[in-house]
Amino acid sequence: MSPTLTVTAWRDYDLDACALPGMFLGDIALTGPVDQECDRLWDMGARRVRVPGVVDLTATAAIASATTNSARAVQALSVIRDLTARAVLVEWSLRVDREDEETSRILGHLQPPQRIEGPDEAAADEALRVWRGAHYLGKCLWRQGPGFVQIRDRRWGDLRRFTADEPHYREAITRLAYGGVAASVAPDALADFHQERLVLQVGELEWWLPYRVNRWVQEAMAI
């Protein structure tokens, strides 16, 4: 069972608008599956959401709490990913072992965090600057076609397409979408996903990075 995550939500993106009466939705406990809870937030009118605490991707957590920490990080990342797909403004913070361009690229399709914590403050600030400057909706997404799965990834500056028509790839995406162990999916699918940097290892969990976009900001053919 995933830990309960309580977020804070408002009805508008703009801070001044959020201060107006009726715009604050309050603290909302997400107790169900992430996809359903993100749908619920959207239906409530949430357009700005604050995820509490820090998404910790360091390897310094105590062994005894590693499983809980991984589950918590994956749950928060899944909320951020699914809300980003809806063009919801997400406020969150990230902690990493190192701050470099790789971090801002691998996670660069997500709504940029408010801050990045790491050993080198200047490098963290630079990684965040790069992330904010390069982010746009639809940067790394996947879609289910008739008999195939396609991922379209622009995180690396060009368009990279990964298409698979084998059913076990779709099954692997389903199993890893909200975090799963490596043994739960076909080894060849997981190896291909790692090679294309479409999954992120978070502790003992493998997490699917691309999102299924819910709001197009331009014509679909352009994306």
- In the DSSP assignment, the letter for residue 137 is T
* Confidence at residue 43, expressed as pLDDT on a 0 to 100 scale: 97
Could you tell me the pTM of the whole model?
Answer: 0.91
* Confidence at residue 118, expressed as pLDDT on a 0 to 100 scale: 86
Q: Tens digit of pLDDT for each residue in 77-136?
A: 999 999 999 999 999 999 998 766 677 889 999 999 999 998 888 989 999 999 999 999
Q: What are phi and psi of 90, to 5 degrees?
A: -110, 130
Helix 167-176 / helix 187-195 crossing angle, nearest 10 deg: 70
Below-50 pLDDT ranges, the chain: 1, 61-64, 221-223
- Is residue 73 within 8 A of residue 57, CB to CB? The reply is yes
* Confidence at residue 64, expressed as pLDDT on a 0 to 100 scale: 45
